[in-house]
Every structure is written in structure tokens, then in C-alpha cells.
Structure 1
Amino acid sequence: MAGTAVEAEIRKFGALADRWWDPGGPMKPLHRMNPLRTGWIAERIARAHGRTGRDLSGLTLLDVGCGAGLAAEAFARFGARVTGVDAAADAVAAARAHAAAGGLEIEYREGGPEDLLAEGARFDAVVALEVVEHVEERAAFYAALAGLASGPVFLSTLNRTARSFLMAKLGAEYLLRLLPVGTHDWKMFVTPGELGAGLKRAGLRVTDIAGMTMDPLTGGWRESRDLGVNYLVMAGR
């Protein structure tokens, strides 16, 4: 264990670093999902600052568990000053290289949110997308997110339901091969009630929630009221 990060999870996702930016590779579902989740978040951050659309110009944003930078780069293109942190060194190296190739100024750090918290860092918004289902020390993780945020905190994750087991575990990993086998442990999925209670103990309350639903024909994602598999949460004080 490195802080709130699990060593086995670090190795697993670090091994995917060189294919992270391949839209047809092992991170294909994240590529398809990214416009929905980053757009949903950017609109709410902008609204909180009295702005329209997805204007994040000059705002600081921390992407926790940033991987090779899919979400971080999207937020940077919305104008945010982005810091990404991840415990997988290979993923951070891939993120730095891709941002440099695209002319984006993003600060990437190897480590966990607790490292930045110890430094006294604060951000206008903190996001942790498809991360919490890989974290065992969740109370410490939520506390770190809360401590780093001077504004809203956003998480996206998978609900622990029979349907998510069929679709996100068996279907995505074994039948359709959308994700490498072993990407997820269904027992680590988080129900909205569990997530809300954990955030509450960290001093945050859920202020918005939405489902993310994939169109099986196109592979595209849309916002929905269905929280049964993938969902997004916004929380604040």
C-alpha cells in the first residue's frame, strides 16, 4: 500500500500506460465516456463561478488518479490550470509525454492525494474519476479529497448491483473484451448510499448525481437517471 493506493492496482494500470491513449485499446471505454464525464463536471464548476458553458479559465483543478491524462487534458482544454496525480509512475510518464506533444501545460505528480494534502495544496475543484472502486482506505481517500478542495469534489464510479456485475464485469471484461480481464473487482464497486455516507463523514454532502449510460449500438455515452451501473457525483460543503 502506498498511501491510499493499492500496490496491485498501481502495477495493473501502470502496465497499460503505453496503450492508454489508443482509442481502440484497453482504455477504449474511458475514451468513449470522457466527453460526457468531463463535460458534466466542467459545466458545474463553471456554473459555481457564475460562468456559462464549460469555461474553466484560470481555475485550478486536481485530477486524482489521472492515469495517462485523458480527463486532465480535457479539463486543460476547457481552460483550467490542471494538476494530475497518480501512483503509477509509468502512467504519469505517459501523461507528461502526451501533454507535451499536444502543447498543454499540465503539472503531473507521482503519488497520491495525501502527498499534496501534506504540502497544504488547495484547488478550486478536485476530481477522482473511476478511481474509488480501486481504493481500499476509502475514509482516508475521501478525507484527502475534501482537504484538497476549496470548491466542489467530483467522483465517478460503478454501482455494486447485479446489473453492474453482468454488464461492467462479465460483459465488459469477458464477453465483449472492452476492458482487460481483471480490470475491476465487483466487490469493490460503491453504491451511491455508501459513497454519500463516506463523503459525509469527510465533511462533504452530495449536491448532484447522474447516471452514465452507454448506447450499445454506437458505444457513445449519455447522461441519464439510471444509477444502476456507472454514475457521477458532485459534492460540496
Structure 2
Amino acid sequence: MQSNSSADGATSIDPAEAAFFGKLADDWWNPAGSSAMLHRVNPLRLGYIRDAACRQFGRSTRDRTPLAGLLALDIGCGAGLVTEPLARMGATVAGIDAAPENIAVARSHAAAMQLAVDYRATSVEALAGTGAQFDLITCLEVIEHVDDRAAFFAAIATLLAPGGLLVFSTPNRTPLSHATLIVGAEWLLRSIPRGAHDWQKFMTPDEVTDALAEAGLSVTDVQGMTWRPGTGFVLGREVSVDYFGTAVRSA
């Protein structure tokens, strides 16, 4: 694939959001830094992705490289917290992000880890315009940061190969998510950088399901993520704060 910048055409990227997270680039891989919460959630995220992909593609979760032979795309990859593990699980991986600063850090870290990952600073729309397609697309904590959701989901649908799988996660728009993520995590505990979220841009599971359906994708699973004292982050039916989901191309 050839590199494309987000300036090549229409884009759902919010420049202010890209600039905000680009300033955090050098701190992405610090488990005690501004991305500490992502580091804590990452094992749960990776387990969900692995299990969903194994179900979709008939693989075994016991394999060391269950994603071998699959083309994967990590949208909003940041510095590679999910992208690198996808490569370790055997996938041929590309990672895209709106912030060039994040991509620079991601490339440097992958090189240090001796991992081959195709990183680029571009938009989903620009990448979709190349004709590239992927078996597995991950879009974790990104939906709430884009401007044009319809264009964003349409581009994802174009990038998803027939029989492919989309795995996403995003916060729900509820009073509890506002209290937990905005008031609690950003303002009181400072466990998430202040200003990282705009609660008005959060989407409910039904809204995401409908938007994906408009793009030609069918949601096949939705699970909530909650914090359990003594255990940590777990998946379950409670979706009022944050949730994961999968989708496939509609028949």
C-alpha cells in the first residue's frame, strides 16, 4: 500500500482531537503515565479481540499465533499498544493514526521490538481510497473522537474484506459514564488526561449498531466493561460506562 495523508480527501478526523493526543505521544508506552488506564485495560482488550477473531476465523485460542495469515488494521493505533500484540499473534498488521507524533513513536518502538508493522499517519477515508482490505479491523476508543461518524463507518465497511471482522470499543453516553469518565477519571482521579473526552460525542450501543447497519455492517456481539474490586476490568452485561462489540459485513 502507498502512504496517504489525511489531506488527500474528505476525512472524519477532528484536528483538535488529533493535536490533543499527539501531545501525549512520548508518554504512550509509560505504564504509569498519561496512558496508564489503557495499559490496565489492554489485557482485557487483547483477550476480547483474540477470542472474537478465533470464533470468526475458526482458530484456536491455544495457538501462540492464532491470527497467522490474517491482514489486520488497527484504527487510531496511537503508539501501538494493541497493534504490536496483533503482530505477535501472527497477523500482518497496519496501524493508522491521525497524529503524526503517535506514528513516529509507534515506528520507533516497533523497530526496537523487532516487529514489522506498517504504520502511517492517515485517515480511514484516505486508506479506503487505496482499495486496501483487511480481514480484521480494530477500532478501540476511537469512535468518540471522530467528527463525521457516517463517513467514518462507511470507510471502515469499505476496508473490511468479505468475511472479515470489526472489533470496536467506545464509551456509552449515560449519566454514569459522565460521572465515571469525565468527573471521576478526568477531574478527580486524573487517571485520564483532562479534556480527553467530550461526553456529547459518546454513542450508545443502539446508535453504533444503527450507524454500522447504515454502512452495511451487522453487529454480532456487545459486552460491557466494568471495574470489579479485587479483580480489575471485566466483561459482562453492564454497558452503561464502556462497551466492546463486533460486527461483520451484512449479507
Category of TM-score, reference length = shorter chain:
over 0.9
Matched, 1:232 2:240: no
Q: Which residue is equivalent to 1:203?
A: 216
CA distance in 2, matches of 1:112, 1:169: 27
Matched, 1:52 2:60: yes
Q: 2:207 aligns with which of 182, 194, 197?
A: 194
What SS is found at the alignment partner of 2:53?
A: helix
CA distance in 1, matches of 2:225, 2:91: 24
Matched, 1:125 2:133: no
CA distance in 2, matches of 1:29, 1:119: 34
What SS is found at the alignment partner of 2:169?
A: strand
Q: 2:167 aligns with which of 154, 157, 160?
A: 154
**After superposition, where does 1:68-217 map in structure 2 within 5 Å?**
68-150=79-161, 151-216=164-229
**After superposition, where does 1:22-37 map in structure 2 within 5 Å?**
22-37=30-45
Identity percentage of aligned residues: 49
Matched, 1:223 2:235: yes
Matched, 1:14 2:22: yes
Shift, 1:217, TM fit = 5.3
Q: TM-score, normalised by structure 2?
A: 0.91
After superposition, give the CA deviation of every residue in 1:139-198 in whole Å (9 maximum; x if it has no partner): 000001111011011110000000000001110001111011101011111100110000
Amino acid in structure 1 at the alignment position of 2:34 = P
CA distance in 1, matches of 2:77, 2:177: 23
Choose between structure 1 and 2: higher strand proportion: 2
Amino acid in structure 2 at the alignment position of 1:200 = A
Unaligned ranges ≥5, structure 1: none
CA distance in 2, matches of 1:14, 1:98: 16
CA distance in 2, matches of 1:224, 1:75: 23
CA distance in 2, matches of 1:82, 1:104: 10
Unaligned ranges ≥5, structure 2: 1-5
Shift, 1:215, TM fit = 3.0
Amino acid in structure 1 at the alignment position of 2:185 = A
Amino acid in structure 2 at the alignment position of 1:94 = V
What SS is found at the alignment partner of 1:67?
A: coil
Superposition CA RMSD, Å: 1.3
